[in-house]
A and B are shown apart, each in its own frame.
Chain A
Amino acid sequence: MIWVNQILQGVLLGGYYAMLACGLSLMFGVMRIINLAHGSLAVVAAYLVWVVANRLHFSPFLGLALVLPCMALAGWLLQRLVFERSLGAGELVPLLSTFGLAVVLDNSMFQTFGADSRSLAPNIGDLAWNSWGVTSQIYVGQLPLLTFVVAVALLGGLHLFLLRTPMGRSVRATTEDPDTAELVGIDTRKVYGFAAAASLVAVGFAGTFLAMRAAFDPYAGPAQLIFAFEAIVIGGTGSLWGTLVGGVVLGVAQNLGAQVSPQGFLVAGHAAFLAVLALRFFAGGRGLRSLLRIPRRPAA
């Protein structure tokens, strides 16, 4: 029974990872950029919501609503100031510049907020620990469930947006082939700006839920980046729903590992990631098959 419960908790944790990963996945899908500052940006969002909640005494959910526009603006600026310069400059530049950015963000947060761990758990009252017992050993926490639902809503919203709206169509066209997209009158610069903004909005959600579900500190970013990346790779790069599958696999592996030994949580997560990669390479498979793929841009 305890194992069933661990698997259930892992699935719910996977919702958080999917939320964390969908911004990274979107940016990688559209711009072919892996944003190494992704995790640090999530922690920035967590601190912003924390400041709003503790200085202005707003509910964290209202705080999230206030922080999201800021994140969108930050994403747009990031695209204009950093990514735009690096898009044409090969693979190295975006990696190096976003890594530099991550170092700046992590240490700036340390400088501003100090080494103390923070959490939004005290700000959300009962939600932080309330749960529904299914049996005596199996329970569903309210916050993990809410996280999962929001993650699915976020992915579903993004999916519908890409499928149904004119902007979504432009994004898909640009993802497929930016040069041809330009030819048919799509402003790819606008599309990239939009994708970066949308990516950071998702990061804003992830940061807020990170802060509500656990304690975070200025150097929590790199671990979040790694989790997000693992979820994407396990699920199959470039697929939104695959990200959810990947997040769930990662979460389940970690929780099962934790059941085996205290250090098992991280070890099992990394091992699952490497195992899926190995499977992809040596069995010729393409990771865990995704439910829906965003078409990828062919290698230039």
Chain B
Amino acid sequence: MMGQGGVYIQRWTKVSVASTSCLVGLVVVLAFGPYFLGPYLTERLTNLFIYVILAAMWNALAGYGGLVSVGQQTFFGLAAYAAIRLSFWGVSVYPALILSTVLVGLVSVPLSVFVLRLRGGEFAIGMWVIAELTHLLVNLDGLINGETGVSLIALNAYPPEARLAYDYWMALGAMTVLVGLTFLLLRSNTGAAIQAIRDDEDAAASVGVRVLASKRLIFVLSATGCAAAGALWIATLISFQPKTYFSVQWSAYMIFMALVGGLGTFEGPILGAILFFLIETLFGGIGVWYLIGLGATALAFALFLPRGVWGALEDRFGIRLMPVGLRLRFPADAAPRRNTDAAAP
């Protein structure tokens, strides 16, 4: 699109065309993963996909929507619980996992009416209270046996190798769909609206952005994504203990991944999830020190590098692997090296 004086707006750059094609290629290759990866890697990659979902969903809410939630474990735990409930009622187990995700997504719609009136820290702790309350209410169901928990025994009907492969495909599929949806959402008008709200809610409202509707969309997407992650988690773990599923630890992990990777960037949380995955694989065994390290790293990034690793790279080199934003191009001779992305805050 050419404008005055040769200035034009560009969505796709050569880099982003190349990287997006690589990414699509990678997903296609990964789809055949269970045939060549072996059981250990299949299982580990399933975990990684779940982390990517969590990081991307938390980032959608906080990085793009400006809503810091310490209670996304509500949806994570609720979906796992719903899967057990549905399976107990006789729904076949894999459809139950999908159905529970959808149901939790639906539950988040009326919930959004309530919590989206909260702002800033009120929203953060309000969501936390919702998570605590949901945990307590789930415990009231006799099926769960209180904190002892229960297992999704219907999964035992499948041979272990088949289960690994199914879990892997479901996780890969869910990740692709959810990250893809986020991508499309951010490129749509709503995406621009959501980022305008994050930067200044009142100003956005004053230029006619439908604040509540846009926030609701991103909230429901994020809730559904976290629900999918919860359903996948119980598919891999089989056992359900309310305490672990509704733990605020999940929020800590999500914050860590999104923050370290790059809050408010599209690629950042994916990088953050990979980093978290590697750190967990290397240091997860050392227990409490590992958690102290995660907290300290999140604290340091929040204070000194709030746009994370990817944000720092992006600001420095102006690269965008995924064409989420638009960039303003000047004629070659006058090209400023500054980052002129329309989406940059």
Chain A residues near B (Cβ < 8 Å)? 28, 33-34, 36, 82, 85-86, 89, 91-97, 99-104, 107-108, 110-111, 222, 225-226, 229-230, 233, 237, 263, 266-267, 270-271, 273-274, 277-278, 281, 299
Q: Is there an interface contact between A95 and B299, defined as CB atoms closer than 8 Å?
A: no
Contacts A/B (CB < 8 Å), 12 sampled: A36-B124, A91-B66, A91-B68, A92-B306, A95-B120, A103-B292, A107-B291, A107-B292, A222-B128, A226-B128, A277-B118, A277-B126
- Residue among B117, B289, B298, B299 facing the most chain A CB atoms (10 A cut-off): B299
- A282 to B304 Cα, complex, angstroms: 40
**A95 to chain B: closest residue by CB:** B68
**How far in angstroms is the closest Cβ of chain A from B312?**
15
- Residue among A28, A100, A102, A271 facing the most chain B CB atoms (10 A cut-off): A100
Given the interface pairs A96-B68, A103-B295, A111-B292, the reply to whether A229 lies near B125 with Cβ below 8 Å is yes
Q: A-facing mask of B118-158, CB < 8 A → 1, else 0? A: 11111011101110110011011000000000000000000
Q: A-facing mask of B220-238, CB < 8 A → 1, else 0? A: 0000000000000000000
| Partner of A274 from B122, B133, B139, B302 at Cβ < 8 Å | B133
| Partner of A107 from B125, B251, B288, B297 at Cβ < 8 Å | B288
- A73 to B68 Cα, complex, angstroms: 29
CB contact list, B97-135 vs A, under 8 A: 114, 117-122, 124-126, 128-130, 132-133
Cβ–Cβ < 8 Å partners of B248 in chain A: 222
Given the interface pairs A92-B263, A110-B288, A263-B140, the reply to whether A97 lies near B302 with Cβ below 8 Å is yes
Q: Is there an interface contact between B124 and A267, defined as CB atoms closer than 8 Å?
A: no
**How far in angstroms is the closest Cβ of chain A from B73?**
12
| Partner of B136 from A111, A267, A273, A299 at Cβ < 8 Å | A267
**A103 to chain B: closest residue by CB:** B295
- A100 to B252 Cα, complex, angstroms: 8
- A105 to B291 Cα, complex, angstroms: 10
Q: Is there an interface contact between B66 and A92, defined as CB atoms closer than 8 Å?
A: yes
B50 at the interface (CB under 8 A from A): no
**How far in angstroms is the closest Cβ of chain B from A94?**
8
Given the interface pairs A100-B296, A107-B288, the reply to whether A225 lies near B125 with Cβ below 8 Å is yes
Given the interface pairs A97-B299, A225-B125, A226-B129, the reply to whether A281 lies near B136 with Cβ below 8 Å is no
Q: Is there an interface contact between A93 and B302, defined as CB atoms closer than 8 Å?
A: yes
Given the interface pairs A28-B121, A92-B66, the reply to whether A99 lies near B136 with Cβ below 8 Å is no
**B122 to chain A: closest residue by CB:** A233
For chain B, the bracket of interface size reads: 35 or more
B56 at the interface (CB under 8 A from A): no
- A230 to B263 Cα, complex, angstroms: 28
Q: Is there an interface contact between A274 and B255, defined as CB atoms closer than 8 Å?
A: no
A-B pairs with the 10 shortest C-beta distances? A34-B121, A103-B295, A100-B299, A100-B298, A104-B295, A97-B302, A96-B302, A270-B133, A107-B291, A91-B120
Say whether chain B's binding surface is mostly helix, strand, loop, or mixed: helix
**B252 to chain A: closest residue by CB:** A103
- A270 to B259 Cα, complex, angstroms: 29
B335 at the interface (CB under 8 A from A): no
- A111 to B292 Cα, complex, angstroms: 9
Q: Is there an interface contact between B291 and A34, defined as CB atoms closer than 8 Å?
A: no
**A228 to chain B: closest residue by CB:** B125
B303 at the interface (CB under 8 A from A): yes
Cβ–Cβ < 8 Å partners of A95 in chain B: 68, 120-121, 124
Q: Is there an interface contact between B299 and A101, defined as CB atoms closer than 8 Å?
A: yes
Given the interface pairs A92-B306, A111-B289, the reply to whether A270 lies near B252 with Cβ below 8 Å is no
**B137 to chain A: closest residue by CB:** A267
- A92 to B345 Cα, complex, angstroms: 14
B62 at the interface (CB under 8 A from A): yes
Q: Is there an interface contact between A86 and B128, defined as CB atoms closer than 8 Å?
A: no
**How far in angstroms is the closest Cβ of chain A from B195?**
13
Q: Is there an interface contact between A96 and B259, defined as CB atoms closer than 8 Å?
A: yes
Cβ–Cβ < 8 Å partners of B259 in chain A: 96
CB contact list, B178-203 vs A, under 8 A: 202
B322 at the interface (CB under 8 A from A): no
- A267 to B121 Cα, complex, angstroms: 22
Cβ–Cβ < 8 Å partners of A28 in chain B: 121
Cβ–Cβ < 8 Å partners of B126 in chain A: 277
Cβ–Cβ < 8 Å partners of A97 in chain B: 298-299, 302-303
- A226 to B251 Cα, complex, angstroms: 15
Cβ–Cβ < 8 Å partners of B289 in chain A: 107, 111
**How far in angstroms is the closest Cβ of chain B from A212?**
25
**B248 to chain A: closest residue by CB:** A222
B93 at the interface (CB under 8 A from A): no
- Residue among B62, B68, B248, B297 facing the most chain A CB atoms (10 A cut-off): B68
- A127 to B344 Cα, complex, angstroms: 60
CB contact list, B325-339 vs A, under 8 A: none
Q: A-facing mask of B298-310, CB < 8 A → 1, else 0? A: 1110111010000
Cβ–Cβ < 8 Å partners of A101 in chain B: 295, 299
Q: Is there an interface contact between A86 and B129, defined as CB atoms closer than 8 Å?
A: no
- A36 to B130 Cα, complex, angstroms: 16
Q: Is there an interface contact between A263 and B288, defined as CB atoms closer than 8 Å?
A: no
**How far in angstroms is the closest Cβ of chain B from A220?**
13
- A33 to B121 Cα, complex, angstroms: 8
- A93 to B165 Cα, complex, angstroms: 40
Question: Can you add 5 more A-B contacts, CB < 8 Å, to A91-B68, A263-B136, A267-B133?
Answer: A100-B300, A103-B298, A222-B128, A263-B140, A270-B136
| Partner of A103 from B68, B119, B132, B291 at Cβ < 8 Å | B291
Q: Is there an interface contact between A93 and B306, defined as CB atoms closer than 8 Å?
A: yes
Cβ–Cβ < 8 Å partners of B303 in chain A: 82, 85-86, 93, 97
- A94 to B306 Cα, complex, angstroms: 11
